[in-house]
Structure 1
Amino acid sequence: MNPKLITGLILEKQNKIIRKLMRIYIHLLITTFFWISCTEDIEHIKPTVTSMTESVYASVNVMPQDVYFAYAAAPGILEKVYIEEGDTIFENQRLALIQSDDSKINIDNAALGLEIAKEKFTGESNILKSINQEIEALIKQLELDSTNYFRQNQLWNQNIGSKSDLDNKKLKYELTQNNLTLKRKQYDQTRLDLENSYKKSQNDLKRARSNLIDFEIRSKINGRIYKLYKEEGELISLQEPFAQIGMSGEFILDIIIDEVDITRVKTGQLALVALDAYEDQVFEAEITKIYPLKDNRTQTFQVEGKFISSPSVLYAGLSGEVNIVLSTKEDVLTIPLNYLIEGKRVKTKDSEIEVEVGMKDLNRVEIISGIDSSTILLKPQ
C-alpha cells in the first residue's frame, strides 16, 4: 500500500479520536458548569464541629402560682359582684353574693325561734320561775302540814283527839310531801327541756347562717383576680367557674411534655425558656414538679417549672418554647436539622448517604458516622 495513503488514514483516524475527545471534554465542561450553577442555587454547607446540648423541647405557658377556679356552692342569680379583673384580694374575702331569699327567711325564722327559746329559758316570765314559786309554796305548805301532823301525833299519844284527825293530818302531810317531790322533778325536767330547746335554736340559727354562706363566693388565698367569667344578674350553676384566681406577682411555668420524652425529664433540671413576648431572649428556669398522670386526650404529661432568671414584666398566659437540658457534649460533628432526610440520610452532589445520628436540639443534630467535616451537603428540596 502507498505509504502516503497509510499516513493519511492514520491522521484521519487520529483526528476523529481527537474530535470525539473534544466533544466529551466539552460535555464535561458543560455538565460541570451546569452542576456549579445548580449548586450555587441550591443551599449547601459542610458539617461543623461544636459543643452541643441534648434537650427535650416542649411548649410552655406562664401561669400564676397556686392558680385555681372559684365555683359557687349553690346555684342562683349573682346578686352582687364585689371585684373586677386585676383586683388584688385576700384570703376569705367575699367576691360575690348569690340571690338567696329563702335562706334569708330561714335565718330570720331561726333567729326568732332562738329569741323565743332564750326568753322561755332565761327570761323574767319564764315557766321555771312559775314552777319554782309553786315549789316554794309547797315547801311552806309542807312545813305547816308537818307541824300539824306531829302535833296531832303527840296529842294522840296523850290519848287526846280522834284517830280520824290524826289520819287526815298524816295524809295531808304525805300528800304535800309527794307533791313537792313531783314539782321538783317537774322543775328539773322543764329546765332540761328548755335548755335543750335553747341549744337547738342556737344550732338552727348556725345552720341557717351556714347555708347562707353557700350563697357567697369567697377567696381561698391572698392573690389576684385574673379572669371573671360571670357578671351581676347572670345565672351561675355548680359546674360553671366564677373566676380564675392565683398568686399576685408569683408565676410558674406550665410545660407540656410529649409521652416519648417524659422519662428523660427530672426535677432540678435546667430549662431554657424563650417567650414569644421577648424575642431573642432566653431565660433560665428549673423543673420543680412532674405530674404523674398522662392526659390520654393529648398523650402528654404536665410539668411545672420556676424561673431562675425571669423577665422584668410577666403576664399570665404568656407562651413560648422551652428546652429542658439533659446533657452537654464538646467537639460534636453537627449539621442543621433541616439537612437531615427522614432522620437518617443526607444529600451530597453525588447521592444520598445514610448517617448515624446522636443527640438533637431545636436546630441541629449530632452526626456520629457516615460523613465528616469536609463533606459538602445539599439542602433537601
Structure 2
Amino acid sequence: MKIFKILILTVLITSCSNRLDGILPTARSLTESVYSSVTIQPDSMYQAYAIVAGILEANMVEEGDTVSIGDPLVQIINSTSKLNAQTAKLALDLARENYNGKATILMGIQDQINTAILKYKNDSLNYFRQKKLWEQNIGSRIDYDTKKLNYDLASNNLLTLNNNYQRTKNELQTLVKQSENNYRAALIGSKDFTVKSKINGKVYALYKEPGEIVSSMDPLVSIGSASDFLVEMLVDEVDIVKIKVGQNVLIHLDAYYGEVFNGVVSKIYPEKDQRNQTFKIEAVFIKPPQVLYPGLSGEANIVISKKESVLVIPKAYLIDGNKVITNEGLVTVTLGIQNMKDIEVQSGLTGDTYIYKPSND
C-alpha cells in the first residue's frame, strides 16, 4: 500500500512538473479569521408578558410604533380574579372579626380566665387558711388535702387557659396576616391589568389579538431598540477559544450584497448550545447600514490575527495538510496563520519556488 502511494505521488509530481500551470508563493499581508453565520437583532430586545391570566381586551400599540418607558402596550381583563378577590375579602373580614370583633374567640377565653382567676383566688385563700390550721394541728387531714387539691386544680386550670389564650391569639393574628396577603395578591389579579413598556424602543411584534385568552406564559409583545442593533453570531466550538472581546469583525449581509461592514466583538456567551455545538457571540457595528430589520442574515469573519509581508500560498495546493509539489518533488512546509483560501508558509519554500496544484484526476 505504501509503495502504491509513493508511485501515485511520483506520477503526480512528474505530470505537474511537465505542466506550465505552476505558481510562485506571494509575499503579502494575510488575515486569519473565524467564519460565522450572522443574524441581526435589535439591542435590548425582550418579550413582554402579563403577570395575570385573562382576556386580551385591546392592543394599545401597533407593529412599528415607537414607545417610551411606561407606555401602555396591551390591556387585559380578568373576571375570575375579581371573584377570587371578593372571596379573599370575605375571608379577611372573618379573620379580623374572630380576632378583635364583638364575638371574638379571645373574649370567650378571657371570660373563662376571669372565672378561673376568681376560683383560683378563692381556692388559694381556703388552702392557705387550712394550711395554717393544719400546721397548728387544727382540722382534719381530709379537709387539708381537699383544699390543696382544689388549689392545685385551679392553678393548673388558670395556667392552661392563659396558654390557650396566647396560642389562640397568635393563631388568629397569623390568620389575619395571611388573609391580608391573600387579599392583596387577589387584588393584583383582579384589576384590569395593563402591560407597560420597560424601555424606550420600537414594537416589533404583537402575538395576540383582542378577545384571545392569554396566560402568564404567553408572550404578548416584542420590543427592542429602535436605533441600535446587535450582530448575533454562532461560532463553532473548535474556534471559540480564539475569540476575544474587542476583535474586529467583517460583516456581509444578504440584504446588502457586495458590501462589507465593520464591527467589534462586544460579548461572548459562555454556555454552549448543545443542539448545534456552537457558542453565541455578539458584535456591534462601527458604522451600521442606514436601514436594518430584525432577522436580517448573512455571514461574518472575526479577525483573529494579521501579518504583513508573509509568504502565502493557496490552501488548495497542499497535500496531506503540510506538503506541496515543486520541481524538486514533494516538499514539507511549515505553516502559519490562514484564512478560508490562503495560508502562510513559514519555511520550506521561497518566493522563487514554483508549486503545482494537485490533479483531481
CA 1:74–1:343 in 2, change beyond 3 Å: closer, same or farther? farther
Q: Which amino acid aligns with 2:355?
A: I
Q: Which of 281, 290, 298 is residue 312 of structure 1 equivalent to?
A: 290
Q: Percentage identity across aligned positions?
A: 44
1:133-148 alignment, distance < 5 Å? none
Q: Which of 358, 361, 365 is residue 343 of structure 2 equivalent to?
A: 365
Match in the other structure for 2:269 = 291
User: Structure 2: how far apart are the matches of 1:370 and 1:214?
Assistant: 78
User: Structure 2: how far apart are the matches of 1:251 and 1:377?
Assistant: 46
CA 1:358–1:107 in 2, change beyond 3 Å: closer, same or farther? same
Quote how far apart the aligned CAs of 1:242 are: 2.2
Match in the other structure for 1:376 = 355
- 2:67 aligned with 1:89: yes
- 2:252 aligned with 1:274: yes
Secondary structure of 2:188's aligned partner: helix
Quote how far apart the aligned CAs of 1:350 are: 8.8
Match in the other structure for 1:234 = 212
Contact preservation (8 Å) 1:341, 1:380: no
User: Structure 1: how far apart are the matches of 2:325 and 2:57?
Assistant: 70
User: Structure 2: how far apart are the matches of 1:353 and 1:231?
Assistant: 70
Q: TM-score, normalised by structure 1?
A: 0.58
Contact preservation (8 Å) 2:229, 2:284: yes
Match in the other structure for 1:70 = 48
Q: Which amino acid aligns with 1:217?
A: V
User: Structure 1: how far apart are the matches of 2:235 and 2:295?
Assistant: 18
- 2:221 aligned with 1:250: no
Quote how far apart the aligned CAs of 1:47 are: 2.4
Quote how far apart the aligned CAs of 1:204 are: 8.5
CA 1:253–1:266 in 2, change beyond 3 Å: closer, same or farther? same
Secondary structure of 2:256's aligned partner: coil
Quote how far apart the aligned CAs of 1:111 are: 10
Q: Which amino acid aligns with 1:301?
A: F
Please give the per-residue CA displacement for 1:146-173, whole angstroms capped at 9, x wherever unaligned. xxxxxxxxxxxxxxxxxxxxxxxxxxxx
CA 1:337–1:233 in 2, change beyond 3 Å: closer, same or farther? farther
Q: Which amino acid aligns with 1:376?
A: I
User: Structure 2: how far apart are the matches of 1:213 and 1:344?
Assistant: 72
Q: Which of 174, 198, 223 is residue 201 of structure 2 equivalent to?
A: 223
CA 1:53–1:74 in 2, change beyond 3 Å: closer, same or farther? same
CA 1:108–1:294 in 2, change beyond 3 Å: closer, same or farther? same
Match in the other structure for 1:50 = 28
Q: Which amino acid aligns with 1:318?
A: L
Structure 2: runs of 5 or more not aligned: 1-14, 91-177
User: Structure 1: how far apart are the matches of 2:55 and 2:317?
Assistant: 61
Contact preservation (8 Å) 1:57, 1:324: yes
Between the two proteins, the alignment pairs up a number of residues equal to 264
332-341 or 63-72, which deviates more: 332-341
User: Structure 2: how far apart are the matches of 1:306 and 1:110?
Assistant: 51
CA RMSD of aligned residues (A): 3.9
Secondary structure of 2:241's aligned partner: helix
Structure 1: runs of 5 or more not aligned: 1-34, 113-199
Match in the other structure for 1:134 = none
User: Structure 2: how far apart are the matches of 1:254 and 1:74?
Assistant: 32
CA 1:49–1:211 in 2, change beyond 3 Å: closer, same or farther? same
101-110 or 211-220, which deviates more: 101-110
CA 1:277–1:341 in 2, change beyond 3 Å: closer, same or farther? farther
Tell which structure's C-alpha radius of gyration is larger: 1
Secondary structure of 2:280's aligned partner: strand
Quote how far apart the aligned CAs of 1:107 are: 6.8
User: Structure 1: how far apart are the matches of 2:324 and 2:346?
Assistant: 13
User: Structure 1: how far apart are the matches of 2:226 and 2:338?
Assistant: 37
Quote how far apart the aligned CAs of 1:49 are: 1.5
CA 1:284–1:105 in 2, change beyond 3 Å: closer, same or farther? same
CA 1:71–1:351 in 2, change beyond 3 Å: closer, same or farther? farther
Contact preservation (8 Å) 2:33, 2:302: yes
User: Structure 1: how far apart are the matches of 2:317 and 2:62?
Assistant: 52
